A and B are shown apart, each in its own frame.
Chain A
């Protein structure tokens, strides 16, 4: 009896949804705020892509992709092309990956397979995180002081090699982290099985665990390359810029152009033709970076084994 009267006190204790309740209004309000926030978040991407597509994509033709750029202020009406910058970006990124992939994968293997959680491995993991937070321009400053000024590499000062080394400092932590994490995800049973059959650590790692972790390592490397291809700050005083095509292998010891530095240099020029070229270069650069990103997605989706 007593219970029943208490029950009656709550007049509408039916379980219907009441939209006018304060907490429901609050709920809806916040949900719509979050929707607005995410629309704001993706607006810049759409705007940048649209502008680059319109301003850069519209100028696309074969001679643009092959020619060398004209120096600013030159009499000729066209600003030339971005051929040497495309090649330069590929070469510099290639040098960076040649340096950082072996070191990064090796370091990752040590962390995941050999280390037993001691101080050394803890410190290396910590150092990797810290290194990935080092501003990219500092990598450029460092290489400038160590390589460019001292002319330590075959007497060359500003060079494609120096640029590649600066970029490799940025990729290195990414490769180590993904290798480390990729190898840790490999089932321990495989490792124990291989070792139990009498395989050495070397054989186990090279034949069993590395192939299993391949897709996550490849994802990390491709993402690292995408970041390196778009970086400018480490290159502006290591690789500098050049108006000419690479003609021989020796050219990697000299100044080298890249798409990102071309955009930076030409965007600040007062000449319209050069600005147009910067938009075209942006289009190609974004294309390269987005393709690499999609490639990494394909890697990470494909289920091997």
Chain B
């Protein structure tokens, strides 16, 4: 009996992990925690650094920076109204056009209107569109798109020139070409996210709707889209944030002019284009003013992103 007991004990002895094992185990956890904390650290340091660098300019110009459009490094007078207006108008107008295009494409991809292969091909192409670097889109916009649409814009100008937004002749880069290229850039985002949220709507909702005799679009408008609205809204807001921060393609095609004009055909500015254009050669007061502009851009995109996350949580329906 005694012997059996001891054999039993030998078989199942409790092995206590060696000190090194314990050390590795707890050390690994601490390393992963610190790496996760890096994200917060980077985010906060970006905010703090940009704010501190822009402080001289904030103190000098204050709110006037937002409502004037002088940009005069010689006399040290700075105002970013044109750039802020350009940022908002280009991103909002491009969003306005990209939403129906993007959501429409997403509906086509999820509704199985075409055969599976065609649907997959269209989906793949939209995803690849998102992968094209913005600088290449800018190059294409400068050399191909803008010369192509210029006669069209001038035709509009000559017939509807009395409307303020068409009031100048299109001579090259301007706000409207920038809006068009922004549409191309944010469309894949809206499509991808809308597609995901449409696909997540439970099948039985659609089946029930078809079962009581609703048509495809009746079902879409009354059942599917309302159920997916949270994801779509989130995607639209993310796209808005992306459009505001988009730099390269816009810099190349917007004309980079700080003169304010109501016309969409005239050259303009966005905050990111201003940064890309001037940061390299700037010094002193100009750097601080550019940092102020960067701070405004950052706050705008942060607010939109936070709003997007909050809305997605708030609007999401649970099934």
Do chains A and B interact in one complex? yes
Contact A131 B105, beta carbon cutoff 8 Å: no
B156 interfacial by beta-carbon distance below 8 Å: no
| Residues 229-256 of A at the B interface (beta carbon under 8 Å) | 229-233, 236-237, 240
Name B248's contact: one of A200, A232, A282 (CB within 8 Å).
A232
User: In whole angstroms, how far apart are the Cα atoms of A34 and B195 in the complex?
Assistant: 14
The 7 closest A-B pairs by CB, nearest first: A135-B245, A230-B133, A106-B35, A37-B104, A110-B32, A133-B305, A233-B247
- Name the distance in Å between A42's Cβ and chain B's nearest Cβ: 5
A90 interfacial by beta-carbon distance below 8 Å: no
Number of inter-chain CB pairs below 8 Å: 255
Q: How many A residues, CB 8 Å from partner?
A: 88
Given the complex, which residues of B lie within 8 Å of A263, measured CB to CB?
135-136, 139
Name A137's contact: one of B36, B245, B306 (CB within 8 Å).
B245
Contact B108 A35, beta carbon cutoff 8 Å: yes
Contact B134 A232, beta carbon cutoff 8 Å: yes
Contact (A233, B244) CB under 8 Å given A31-B216, A114-B29 = no
Given the complex, which residues of B lie within 8 Å of A286, measured CB to CB?
132-133, 136
User: In whole angstroms, how far apart are the Cα atoms of A120 and B33 in the complex?
Assistant: 10
Given the complex, which residues of A lie within 8 Å of B143, measured CB to CB?
267, 275
B43 interfacial by beta-carbon distance below 8 Å: yes
Stretch of B46-54, B56-64, B74-82, B199-207 lying at the A interface: B46-54
Contact A237 B279, beta carbon cutoff 8 Å: yes
Name A33's contact: one of B33, B104, B246 (CB within 8 Å).
B104
Given the complex, which residues of B lie within 8 Å of A115, measured CB to CB?
36
Given the complex, which residues of B lie within 8 Å of A289, measured CB to CB?
131-133
B21 interfacial by beta-carbon distance below 8 Å: yes
B83 interfacial by beta-carbon distance below 8 Å: no
B187 interfacial by beta-carbon distance below 8 Å: yes
Given the complex, which residues of A lie within 8 Å of B291, measured CB to CB?
141, 145
Given the complex, which residues of B lie within 8 Å of A110, measured CB to CB?
29, 32-33, 35-36
A44 interfacial by beta-carbon distance below 8 Å: yes
25 contacts across the A-B interface (CB closer than 8 A): A26-B217, A27-B218, A38-B104, A38-B122, A42-B125, A44-B129, A45-B128, A106-B34, A110-B29, A110-B32, A130-B305, A133-B245, A133-B308, A139-B46, A141-B279, A142-B45, A176-B39, A200-B25, A201-B29, A230-B135, A230-B136, A264-B135, A286-B132, A293-B128, A293-B131
Residue of B nearest to A121 (CB): B36
- Quick one: CB contact mask for A185-227 with B, threshold 8 Å, 1 for yes? 0000000000000101110010000000000000000000011
B113 interfacial by beta-carbon distance below 8 Å: yes
A167 interfacial by beta-carbon distance below 8 Å: no
Contact (A137, B43) CB under 8 Å given A41-B187, A103-B35, A226-B131 = no
User: In whole angstroms, how far apart are the Cα atoms of A123 and B49 in the complex?
Assistant: 21
- Name the distance in Å between A233's Cβ and chain B's nearest Cβ: 4
Given the complex, which residues of A lie within 8 Å of B109, measured CB to CB?
38
- Name the distance in Å between A220's Cβ and chain B's nearest Cβ: 14
Contact B247 A232, beta carbon cutoff 8 Å: yes
User: In whole angstroms, how far apart are the Cα atoms of A133 and B305 in the complex?
Assistant: 7
A268 interfacial by beta-carbon distance below 8 Å: yes
User: In whole angstroms, how far apart are the Cα atoms of A165 and B35 in the complex?
Assistant: 16
- Secondary structure at chain B's binding surface: helix, strand, loop or mixed? helix
- Name the distance in Å between A113's Cβ and chain B's nearest Cβ: 8
Contact B139 A135, beta carbon cutoff 8 Å: no
B149 interfacial by beta-carbon distance below 8 Å: no
A271 interfacial by beta-carbon distance below 8 Å: no
- Name the distance in Å between A117's Cβ and chain B's nearest Cβ: 14
Contact A34 B29, beta carbon cutoff 8 Å: no
Residue of B nearest to A44 (CB): B184
Q: Categorize the interface residue count of chain B.
A: 35 or more
Contact (A267, B138) CB under 8 Å given A107-B38, A124-B36, A130-B305 = yes
Stretch of B65-73, B163-171, B260-268, B295-303 lying at the A interface: B295-303
Given the complex, which residues of B lie within 8 Å of A103, measured CB to CB?
35, 38
Residue of A nearest to B280 (CB): A237
- Name the distance in Å between B294's Cβ and chain A's nearest Cβ: 5
Residue of A nearest to B40 (CB): A127
| Most chain A Cβ neighbours within 10 Å, of B135, B252, B308 | B135
- Name the distance in Å between B31's Cβ and chain A's nearest Cβ: 6
| Most chain A Cβ neighbours within 10 Å, of B40, B133, B241 | B133
Residue of A nearest to B187 (CB): A41
Name A124's contact: one of B40, B187, B215 (CB within 8 Å).
B40
Contact A137 B140, beta carbon cutoff 8 Å: no
- Name the distance in Å between B287's Cβ and chain A's nearest Cβ: 9
Contact (A236, B46) CB under 8 Å given A37-B101, A124-B39, A137-B245 = no
Instruction: Beyond the given A27-B215, A45-B125, please list 11 additional residue pairs across the A-B interface where CB-CB is below 8 A.
Output: A34-B104, A41-B104, A41-B129, A48-B136, A135-B272, A137-B272, A141-B275, A142-B46, A146-B45, A146-B49, A176-B36
A161 interfacial by beta-carbon distance below 8 Å: no
| Residues 93-107 of A at the B interface (beta carbon under 8 Å) | 102-104, 106-107
Contact B35 A102, beta carbon cutoff 8 Å: yes
Given the complex, which residues of A lie within 8 Å of B29, measured CB to CB?
110, 114, 201-202
- Name the distance in Å between B176's Cβ and chain A's nearest Cβ: 15
- Quick one: CB contact mask for B96-126 with A, threshold 8 Å, 1 for yes? 0000111011011101010000000010011
| Most chain A Cβ neighbours within 10 Å, of B21, B34, B43, B218 | B43
| Most chain B Cβ neighbours within 10 Å, of A103, A128, A173, A205 | A103
B144 interfacial by beta-carbon distance below 8 Å: yes
